[in-house]
Structure 1
Amino acid sequence: MKNQALQKMGNEQAELLTEIGAYLRQVRQLQELSLETVTSITKIPVRTLQAIEDGNLAQLPEPVYIQGFIRRYADAIGTDGAELANAFPTGAIIRPVKPTWKSAFKAQLRPLHLYILYMLLVVGAVIGLSYTLNRSASQASRYAYLTKPVSPGQYVAPGSNEFYGPSAPTQIGKTAAKKIAPTTSCKPVRVGLTLTAQSWLRITVDGKTEFEGVLPEGTQRTWEANKQVIVRAGDAGAVLVSHNEERPQLMGKPGVVEEKQFDASSHASGQSLVSPTTTAQNAVL
């Protein structure tokens, strides 16, 4: 009985079943449904559903049962089961197939929201790239400005873009003094340091080494003593020193190792603020 029905259906019916089965598979996969899930809804065995998707007539019963399986399968995955079932003939005469279900599937594969999402992603990528490029250009410009060369004898105060040197000692003195000036002082000797560049330092307070090491650019430190503070700098031109709240001055020339001592007997005006004890130029620490 089964073989006779298959012979009557012919090649055209087999091709049509293959087309319908491929459509059902694509709709099912689009919804991320497994054959086992469809089986639990339709009560159609998995092997029968697989045969329908593959267009395998040899594994299916008579055409009238195939038509019923198609209807139940299509209804379970949300498509028009009656339309698909009617597209599959049960007799030898092949009836024309309505193309409506094909058009519906194409619409499902290319919804409008996918195009909108794609455009949003493109716009977001362009905005992100533009922001990154502008930020990089701004940082490069800022770096070039901060690292531009200065004239001999001039220095840049930490945290500022203003240049200072012998021609403007008062301004840099006031700026540095504001940063290191104490509110109160309990000891007669007070020495404040501000680094305009990285330098090695050794600080001796009342005969005891309080600090020895490298301090980075922009560092501000203060030491107090009862009798004496000795400052030894690996790069005297990178160290601004203030004694007892007076105007800061550079310890010496750039690249020169300089050692100076500060005590309570130093005067605030009329002479140098510092009393150098030793000076070693271009020494290796």
Structure 2
Amino acid sequence: MAEEEVATQGELAITRTGDRLRLAREAAGLSLADVATRTRITQRHLQAIEKSEFSELPGRTYVTGFARAYARAVDLPETEIAADIRRELDEDQYGARPIYEAYEPTDPARLPTARLAWTLVIVAAVLVSAYGVWRFLSVEPDEALVAAQNRDADASEAPAAATAPVVAGKTAADGAVPADAPIVLTGISEVWIGFDDANGKTENWRTLDPGETYQVPSAYIEQFTLRTSRPQALKVTVGGRDIGSLGAADTLVKSISLKPADLLARAEGGATAPAPKASPRR
């Protein structure tokens, strides 16, 4: 009887989605480092998800997207995990609201005036609106928003200007460019980057913290193109040479070739490189 009670208590203790992900990882014999390698998500973010410490992550969309990637890595249904995470986020947001202190109706001195009540309502509305604007500008797009941005970019993209032929591995200033020149991405501030396949679908993504570097794998150079929605927060170098900005600040840019010659051509003014698709973040 005692053993059954202990088992029941153990089951009831697993009430958070982070616990479920952690148990699935342990059952598969994986470490956090293994999951980080599979998902390209930093270990501290994965650990925050396991502990359900969602405030440690940059935003709600990050939490949901990282949890889905984690679920795929440990063979859990990602749609179910994402739904559970959204529910927990809603519950946490409700639980964080200040508890209303009821005033005794027999004490008129403690009752707020109508003017004060309306002032508080207006201030709350302004704060909610400001929070919504901040969330819109700072949180990376989920899959649906990315698809919408792609459609906007395709619809508004101007025809590419005629370009001069590119001599593979050459730039006007530097001469020969090694075919295996390392391509390094560095976060100036926290930035989300994605790698798109030939159909424009984002297959891999990750975040870079300020000062964090990521060398693009050689296999990615031919298979994928680069996208980001904060070009001003990302530095791209080819063989140690900074190629400059990828686009206007807070603008989604995509279809950026990762080939060294194309990137260096952008550094020379972009006249010989295909123009990336871009659309303002809405």
Q: TM-score, normalised by structure 1?
A: 0.28
Larger of the two Rg values belongs to structure: 1
Q: Larger relative contact order (C-alpha < 8 A, sep ≥ 6)? A: 2
